Structures are given as C-alpha cells and as structure tokens.
Structure 1
Amino acid sequence: MQEVQEEMLWEGTASHVAKLGTYLLCLLFCWLIVPIFIAIWTAIKLKATRYQLTTERLRIREGILSKRTEEVELYRVKDMSVEWPFIYRMFNKGNIRLVTSDHSAPTIVLEAISGADELMDVLREHVEICRDRKRVREIDLD
C-alpha cells in the first residue's frame, strides 16, 4: 500500500463575532477597568485557538500559556452540520459541528468560521476519501 502525502487544506481561527456578547459587556462596564483586561484576554484566547484541516485529520490547537492539541482522524467523523446563529449570519459566519467516533473528542465545534458552507463541502469530500482509502465504513447499531 502506497504512503499518501498529507497536505494542508485549510487553516483558520474563530472570528471575534463569537465573543461579541463578552466584548459588549466589557465595553459597558469598562469604567471598572477589570473588564478591559477580560476583553483583551478573551481576544488573545480566541486568536490562540487554531484550526487546521489536512487531507488526513483535523487539528485543533488552543491555549495561551499552556498549549493543547486535539487531533481527529477524518475517517472518524460520523456526522456534520452547519449552524448559522442570527448574529453570525449578519457577518457571514457559521459554526461547523462534527460528531466523531473519537473518544477524547466526540463532538467538535469549529466556531464562527468564514465560508462555513465551503469548508464543510471540503471536509465532507475528504472524509469520504479517507474512509475509502482506509476501507472504513460507519455502522450504527441502535
């Protein structure tokens, strides 16, 4: 069996729209000084979370001082959906929710993603390619 070269398909972060409520509350109470630091910490934490989609896996890196990486093989994705909350729709953002057979990450949400529809199409295509290549099929026993 030949070795397949893993390629980067997409890389991104969540939009600040995901934390709009937090930012508005911090703005409302900015005279207390502490909310300014909360807003800054929230923004840094949001941008410290990176999503990477390759031809083989989805990788989520998060953390500011301590880092954590979660990897899910694409063939483990069982179901996916796109959610369009009202505020997100105004900014053309969406959430991609993945249900996986991975024990450490049974549900993954890629939050406030630009072009969520297009990304989900790419994701679906490569999930099927990985399943075919590894000869994996999903069987539900209910």
Structure 2
Amino acid sequence: MSEEKNVWLGTPSQVVNLGSYILLGLFFWLVIPLFVILWKWLDVKNTKYELTTERIRTRHGILNKETDELELYRVRDYKLEQPFFLRMFSLGNIILETSDRSHPTIVIKAISNGEELREKLRTHVEACRTKKNVREVDFE
C-alpha cells in the first residue's frame, strides 16, 4: 500500500470576521466586545484544513480541540462558491457533498486559490476511488 502524503494545508481567512470586527470595534471601549473579537479571531486561527492523498482532515476548537476526517472516496460532489464579498479578497468556499452520514456536507471556508484546490481535490478523489475500487451509485 502506498504511503499517505500531504497535498495541501490551509486555514480560513480572517476576512470572514471582518463584519464582526467592524461592528464590535465601534464599541471598543466596552470590555465584552474585545473578548468577542478575540474569541472570533482565535476560532478562525485554530481552524486547520489538511488534504492528503486519502482524506480530508478538519481541526478546530479553541479550548476543546476536535478533528474530523473524511475519506476522499466518500466525496460525491464538489462546488466552488465565490460570494461577492469573498471574491473582493480573491477567496472562496469549497462545498463537498459526501456519502458520510455524520458529515453529509463539508465546507472549506474562505480559502485562497479555490479553483486550484478544487481541481486537486477532484484529482485525488478519482485516484482514491480507483485505488480502492469504489464506484458511486445513485438510487432514486
């Protein structure tokens, strides 16, 4: 069996919190908004995405850490979403529809080079399916 290798590592951009930063920044003289800003910043800072040749790992959490893994052969569909606000910063979201029961939809939020990552994902999903001899079948 071949060894699993890292293909891509990334984190979401802090741009996702820009609206909150601006709104809460208006009340900078209050202590609670500063803690909320810090918490939101830490939340994004502690979210890590890792794409390997066999799976996608999502690590998140500030006090309690959680790691979610998804085998690539379970990915059914991938979509790149670039809302206007994110496009202004050359960012996008990748939405994965999966056959995993615990996580049927996974969103990789606010990442740069979304098109390039989507193509890497597609390539490795197909390679993983071929390697494991898995076929996607829809029943309606």
What's the secondary structure of 2:136's corresponding residue?
coil
Provide the C-alpha distance between the structure 2 equivalents of 1:88 and 1:15, rounded to a whole number of angstroms.
Answer: 10
The 3-state SS of whatever aligns with 1:30 is: coil
The secondary structure found in structure 2 opposite 1:95 is strand
Match for residue 50 of structure 2 among 49, 52, 56? 52
In structure 1, the gaps of 5 or more residues are none
Match of 1:84 in 2: 82
Residue in 2 that maps onto 1:126:
124
Residue deviations 1:49-71, cap 9 Å, x none? 10000000000011111111100
> 2:29 is paired with a residue of what secondary structure?
helix
Q: CA deviation at 1:32?
A: 2.0
Deviation of 1:113 (Å): 0.4
Partner of 1:13: 11
Residue number in structure 2 paired with 1:36 = 34
> Residues of 2 paired with 1:74 and 1:45: CA distance?
25
Q: Normalising by the residue count of structure 1, what TM-score does the alignment of the two structures yield?
A: 0.96
RMSD of the alignment, in Å?
0.7
Q: 1:67 matched to which residue of 2?
A: 65
Q: How far did 1:33 drift?
A: 2.3
* Secondary structure at 1:4 match in 2: coil
State the alpha-carbon separation in 2 of the partners of residues 4 and 11 from structure 1. 20
Q: 1:18 Cα deviation (Å)?
A: 1.1
Give the superposition deviation at 1:133: 0.5
The two structures have a TM-score, normalised by structure 2, of 0.97
How far, CA to CA, are the matches of 2:94 and 2:103 in structure 1? Answer: 14
1: CA distance, partners of 2:79 / 2:27 = 36
The unaligned stretches of length 5 or more in structure 2 are none
Give the drift of 1:103.
1.1
Superposed structure 1 runs of 4+ greater than 3 Å apart: none
Aligned length: 140
